[in-house]
Amino acid sequence: MSVAGKVRAVTTLRLTEMKQRGEKIAMLTSYDYSMAKIVDAAGVDVILVGDSAANVMAGYETTLPITLDMMIYHARSVVRAVSRALVVVDLPFGTYQGNSKVALESAIRIMKETEADAVKIEGGEEILESVNRILSAGIPVMGHLGLTPQSIHKFGTYNVRAKEEAEAEKLVRDARLLEAAGCFGIVLEKIPAALAERVSKELKVPTIGIGAGGGVDGQVLVIHDMLGISNDFSPRFLRRYADLHGVMSEAVGNYVSDVKSCDFPNEKEQY
């Protein structure tokens, strides 16, 4: 639902229908009103208010420090801008693991205070009780398997996950469990393309990949990375569609020199 109470064009059901038709799903992150307005108007199907806001908006090393209040602030700003896309909000670290009642309270706060459409949570079997409780309240849940950044201190590296047989089999089991529980989709992050394709073929709900190859049902990227706003992050899976770092640096540099040289403002730019 949008703020005006209208159902947005993309629903969780529509995503499953897209998978059935073989139509790929385009998903991008957004964290603020202005960016979300552009992303929605450009035809993105799913907007993720990701906890990557911790990195690209707040400058933290990992996603762990971002709070539920911060996520709600970002999600509210995004929802105000969106009329078509489905808006999914990450439950941040510490708001759903270990206690399913706390998980439900966190998800309810997101749905009530932001008017977003769904929540996303990281993990499989370990967080299944939380997934079930959130779903039982009628809140759509998207799963997230593979490289789950909230577990970075357990992994110790941002390298590709599930290359070994045991981890790959656990991922397949977790994907089945999440689908059986009722998740409407699953993000697969940084896993071998063949494994992502196998999971995508087996599941009826759509898979959305990031660094998981082309055999998935859709793709997601962090908008700051794909627009080239940050130029110090270049994983193999990232395709840059613009060099906004260059464009913005040049524009700001020109502004500084125009101010210093008294070229700005000129006579037409004053009252």
Strands 25-29 and 141-146: unpaired
Nearest distance, CB of residue 259 and ligand KIV, angstroms: 36
Query: Which stretch in 15-23, 45-53, 80-88, 261-269 sits in contact with ligand KIV by CB under 6 A?
Result: 45-53
Residues within window 96-115 making contact with ligand KIV, judged by CB under 6 A:
none
Q: How far is the CB of 265 from ligand KIV (least distance, A)?
A: 39
Stretch that binds ligand KIV, among 46-54, 78-86, 101-109, 170-178 (CB under 6 A): 46-54
CB of 270 vs ligand KIV, minimal distance in Å? 43
Q: What CA–CA distance (Å, rounded) separates 63 from 95? A: 13
Q: What is the CA radius of gyration of the chain?
A: 20
Residues within window 74-93 making contact with ligand KIV, judged by CB under 6 A:
90
Clarify whether 126 is annotated catalytic: no
By CB under 6 A, the count of residues binding ligand KIV is 11
Q: Does 50 bind ligand KIV (CB under 6 A)?
A: yes
Minimal distance, residue 256 CB to ligand KIV, in Å: 32
- Which of 186, 191, 210, 227 forms a contact with ligand KIV (CB under 6 A)? 210
For ligand KIV, which residue of 12, 52, 95, 219 counts as binding (CB under 6 A)?
A: 52
Distance CA 46, CA 220 (A): 9
Stretch that binds ligand KIV, among 3-11, 48-56, 73-81, 152-160 (CB under 6 A): 48-56
40: left (phi over 0), alpha (psi -120 to 50) or beta: alpha
**Minimum Å distance from CB 242 to ligand KIV?**
18
3-state SS record for the chain: CCCCCCCCCCCHHHHHHHHHHCCCEEEEECCCHHHHHHHHHCCCCEEEECCCHHHHCCCCCCCCCCCHHHHHHHHHHHHHHCCCCEEEEECCCCCCCCCHHHHHHHHHHHHHHHCCCEEEEECCHHHHHHHHHHHHCCCCEEEEEECCHHHHHHHCCCCCCCCCHHHHHHHHHHHHHHHHHCCCEEEEECCCHHHHHHHHHHCCCCEEEECCCCCCCEEEECHHHHCCCCCCCCCCCCCCCCCHHHHHHHHHHHHHHHHHCCCCCCHHHCC
The residue of the chain with the least Cβ separation from ligand KIV equals 50
Where do we find the tokens 């670290």?
A: 93
Is residue 222 involved in binding ligand KIV (CB under 6 A)? Answer: yes
Q: Active-site residue among 115, 122, 179, 189?
A: 189
Nearer to ligand KIV by C-beta: 3 or 58? 58
Is position 142 an interface residue for ligand KIV (rule: CB under 6 A)?
Answer: no
Which of 18-26, 47-55, 228-236, 249-257 is the region at the interface with ligand KIV (rule: CB under 6 A)? 47-55
Phi, psi of 142 (to 5 degrees): -105, 135
User: What residues line the site for ligand KIV (CB under 6 A)?
Assistant: 29, 48, 50-52, 90, 187, 189, 210, 220, 222
Tell me the catalytic residues. 189
